Each structure stands twice: as structure tokens, then as C-alpha cells.
């Protein structure tokens, strides 16, 4: 049987990983600044996380949500404490799309309304409503098309105010990534997030912060929306939550009341996933990873800003992007092939850095050195070919 060929892949077989280092089947070592797409939060195969999962595996891996699962409560407790959202409620699922699907659905149940406000260049996942709220027609199937989602320009306060003035009474939710990931590391202004809070209060709509990529400590605070000093009504989470073990969830403000049967899942919140997620939170706490992500991110950002050839260096904590000018268009490919460094991308010309939160300063310095070398090599090659012509 063939695999369904939907992924453009690098011809590399990663067989082993530790911290921010991965090795291929030929023994080559790579620096992972992509974190398997922002998933690796506490470092690959962190010993505490491995032990947590191993111990749980010997007890029980799964039973359905029809019985008590105390480890879910333990996770909720820890998550509430570390995120500062103690009074919120937790619903567990398995992925980022599923988290947003449930967040949007819950907003609609709660308000009795149908309209969703999303923003240009957003990415919220590939399930039906999450993809309908994703600004990429290429991945929206005809059956997912709906007139219920409107895309407004990101950070355009006047456009949002105007839309809400005319349609606010019909809006169930405003959903936003505080830093757009797939869209190319675009940061929401704090005043824009504050305005969303005000308008949601004014019109009775639900503020959904999609923190699947920018959350869970990546920006240096637990949620990036926290920088704006406002609370969302629902936070969606996944990626870094399990450090590679599939788990997602939503944090739900106390005023949104549950009803039996309203949401549900077979696998969500299973014992093994909760053990993995608790392992992650324990390491975040023990190793002070929010602070470290902030500090390391500041250092990396400061150094990147000194490299004049990179354009528009931006981001927060360890979620950083920069534009690559046309003359350096092979930069990302060469970093991987020549220097064995994984980075992320966003079309058309953005390099995205999404490493583990405990990336070492030494690894950052190695990356900066390779980056500068490669930029010089590409510029030299370009100049030589111009002279030869
Ligand atoms: C902001 C954001 N939301 C949702 C998702 C979807 O998550 P998943 O791929 O786990 O369904 C992603 C994935 O990249 C994302 O970046």
C-alpha cells in the first residue's frame, strides 16, 4: 500500500532525537530549530517526560470518558496554576484543529449565533469549521465553504469596529492568533487584542485566542495574548502541550456553562496523553522555561537584528520570523543541506524559528554562525555569477 502523498517532504529519515538535536539514519546530526513544527516544547525525549509516559503505560493507557479519570483533574490543576487561568474549565481533545473546532462550536452553542470573525492570513486547522475560518482557499473543500465566516484585515481596528457595529449582534466569536504562525509570524498589536476584548464584551461575542502555535510558553508568557493584559474567553492549545504526544485542549472561561453531551471525544483526555501533558508542565515549571524562552528569544532576536541582510526580523520569545530577500532565496535549503539545521518556513519568503523552549545559548550561537556564513556564501556566489556574465 502507498502512503497518500499529501506532504512535500525532505529526503531525511530522523531516527533519534534528544533536546534540540536529531540524528538521521546515517548518523548525521542536525540542530532542530523547527521543533517538528512548533511541537517540541521541552526538548525531544526529555527524560522526565519519557518516564512519565512509561510509568503511566504500565498502569493504564486508555479508558473512555465514561469513568473518572483523576489524571485529567491533576492536569487541569497544574495547567490552571501555570497559565494563571485557575478559574477556567478544561476540555481535552487531540489536536489543534480539534481544539479550534470545539472552541468555535462552543461559542456558537453559548451565544446561539452563527457568525465567526477571523482574520486575513489566519490558520486554524483543517477540520470543517476550523478550515472555514482559515484564510487559504486551497485547503477549503467545497463542503467546508460557509457564509458564516468573515475575514477582516489583521490589526485593522477601524475595519473590526465597523463590522461589529453593523453585525455584532450576530457574531458568535472572534478568533485570532496573537502571533500568526502559518501566515508568516505576524504579530497582533496589543491594542487590537484589547479592542477584541472590548467588542466581545459589548456585543456578547466570544473571544477565542488560538494559542495552538504561539502559546504554551513559546512567547515567554504562557499565552501570547497575556501580553495585551486581557483575558480571552476560550484559549485553544495543542502542539507544545504534549511535546509530540498528540493532545489538544481548550480553556473555557467560567461564565461559559457546560451541558452534558455538548462536546465529546473518544480519545481526548486519555490517561497516557494526560501523563505526557503533565510531564511537559512539570518540566516547564522545574526548568523555568517561560523565562528561558523569553531570555533566549531576546538574545536570538537581538543578534538577528544585527544581520543587515535579513529583513523584518520579528516575533516574541522563541517564535521568530524574518523575510529572506530574493538573492538569498536558497538560505533555508542550504541551512538544512550544508549546515544540518532545520528551520521552518512560511510562504513566500519567511524563515520561521520555532525551537524547543530550553534551546541552549550555545546552539543559538552555532546557528547564528552558520547563518552568517551561509549568507556570505550566497552573496559571494551571486556576485561571482554577476561578474562572470
Ligand atoms: C495557530 C494554529 N492553529 C491550529 C493549528 C492546527 O493544529 P493541528 O495541525 O494540530 O490540527 C495549527 C497548526 O499548524 C496552528 O498553527
> Which domains does the chain carry?
47-255+264-286 (3.40.640.10), 288-350 (3.90.1150.10)
**Integer CA distances (angstroms), 144 to 130, 140, 149, in order:** 9, 6, 11
| Residue nearest ligand 1's atom 16 by CA | 213
Q: Work out the pLDDT band at 387, boundaries 50, 70, 90.
A: confident
Alpha-carbon gap, residue 29 to 25, rounded angstroms: 10
Q: For the chain, what percent of residues have pLDDT higher than 70?
A: 100
Q: From the CA of 40, how far away is ligand 1's center (Å)?
A: 14
Nearest to 319 by CA among 218, 207, 221: 218
| For residue 1, pLDDT beyond 90 | yes
Q: Work out the pLDDT band at 384, boundaries 50, 70, 90.
A: confident
pTM: 0.97
Mutate which of 37, 125, 136, 223 for ligand 1 pocket (most atoms within 8 A of beta carbon): 125
Alpha-carbon gap, residue 114 to 81, rounded angstroms: 33
Residue identified by cell 473518572 is 68
- For 185-242, write each residue's pLDDT tens digit: 999 999 999 999 999 999 999 999 999 999 999 999 999 999 999 999 999 999 999 9
Q: From the CA of 96, how far away is ligand 1's center (Å)?
A: 5
Mutate which of 101, 104, 123 for ligand 1 pocket (most atoms within 8 A of beta carbon): 123
**Where do the H-state alpha helices sit in the chain?**
35-38, 47-59, 70-83, 96-111, 128-132, 157-167, 190-203, 271-286, 289-305, 331-337, 361-388
Nearest to 175 by CA among 227, 247, 256, 233: 233
Q: Residues with Cβ within 6 A of ligand 1? A: 95-97, 100, 123-125, 177, 181-182, 210, 212-213, 238
- For 74-85, write each residue's pLDDT tens digit: 999 999 999 999
Ligand 1 atom nearest the C-alpha of 130 is 4
Give the pLDDT mean for 235-250. 98
Ligand 1 atom nearest the C-alpha of 181 is 16
Q: From the CA of 126, how far away is ligand 1's center (Å)?
A: 8
3-state SS class at 187 = strand
| Residue nearest ligand 1's atom 4 by CA | 124
pLDDT at res. 111: 98
Amino acid at each position: 500500500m502507498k502512503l497518500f502523498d499529501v506532504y512535500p517532504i525532505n529526503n531525511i529519515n530522523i531516527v533519534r532525537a534528544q533536546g534540540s538535536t536529531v540524528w538521521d539514519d546515517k548518523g548525521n546530526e542536525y540542530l532542530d530549530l523547527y521543533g517538528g513544527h512548533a511541537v517540541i516544547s521541552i526538548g525531544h525525549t526529555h527524560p522526565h517526560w519519557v518516564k512519565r509516559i512509561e510509568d503511566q503505560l504500565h498502569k493504564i493507557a486508555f479508558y473512555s470518558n465514561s469513568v473518572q479519570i483523576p489524571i485529567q483533574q491533576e492536569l487541569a490543576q497544574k495547567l490552571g496554576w501555570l497559565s494563571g487561568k485557575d478559574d477556567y474549565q478544561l476540555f481535552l481533545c487531540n489536536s489543534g484543529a480539534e481544539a479550534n473546532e470545539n472552541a468555535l462550536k462552543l461559542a456558537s452553542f453559548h451565544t446561539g449565533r452563527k457568525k465567526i470573525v477571523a482574520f486575513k492570513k489566519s490558520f486554524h486547522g483543517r477540520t470543517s469549521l476550523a478550515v472555514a475560518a482559515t484564510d487559504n482557499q486551497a485547503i477549503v473543500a467545497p463542503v467546508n465553504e460557509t457564509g458564516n465566516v468573515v475575514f477582516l484585515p489583521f490589526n485593522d481596528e477601524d475595519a473590526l469596529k465597523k463590522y461589529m457595529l453593523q453585525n455584532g449582534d450576530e457574531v458568535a466569536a472572534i478568533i485570532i492568533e496573537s502571533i500568526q504562525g502559518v501566515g508568516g509570524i505576524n504579530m497582533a498589536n496589543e491594542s487590537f487584542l484589547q479592542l477584541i476584548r472590548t467588542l466581545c464584551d459589548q456585543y456578547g461575542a466570544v473571544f477565542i485566542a488560538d494559542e495552538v502555535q504561539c502559546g504554551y510558553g513559546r512567547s515567554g508568557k504562557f499565552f501570547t495574548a497575556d501580553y495585551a493584559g486581557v483575558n480571552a474567553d476560550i484559549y485553544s492549545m495543542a502542539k507544545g502541550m504534549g511535546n509530540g504526544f498528540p493532545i489538544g485542549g481548550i480553556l473555557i472561561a467560567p461564565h461559559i456553562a457546560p451541558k452534558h453531551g455538548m462536546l465529546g471525544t473518544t480519545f481526548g483526555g486519555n490517561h497516557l496523553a494526560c501523563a505526557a501533558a503533565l510531564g511537559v508542565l512539570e518540566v516547564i515549571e522545574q526548568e523555568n522555561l517561560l523565562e528561558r524562552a523569553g531570555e533566549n528569544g531576546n538574545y536570538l532576536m537581538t543578534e538577528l537584528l544585527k544581520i543587515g541582510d535579513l529583513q523584518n526580523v520579528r516575533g516574541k520569545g522563541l517564535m521568530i520570523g524574518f523575510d529572506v530577500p530574493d538573492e538569498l532565496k536558497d538560505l533555508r535549503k542550504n541551512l538544512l543541506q550544508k549546515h544540518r539545521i532545520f528551520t521552518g518556513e512560511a510562504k513566500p519568503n519567511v524563515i520561521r524559528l520555532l525551537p524547543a523552549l530550553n534551546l541552549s545559548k550555545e546552539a543559538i550561537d552555532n546557528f547564528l554562525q552558520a547563518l552568517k556564513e551561509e549568507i556570505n556564501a550566497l552573496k559571494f556566489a551571486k556576485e561571482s555569477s554577476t561578474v562572470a556574465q
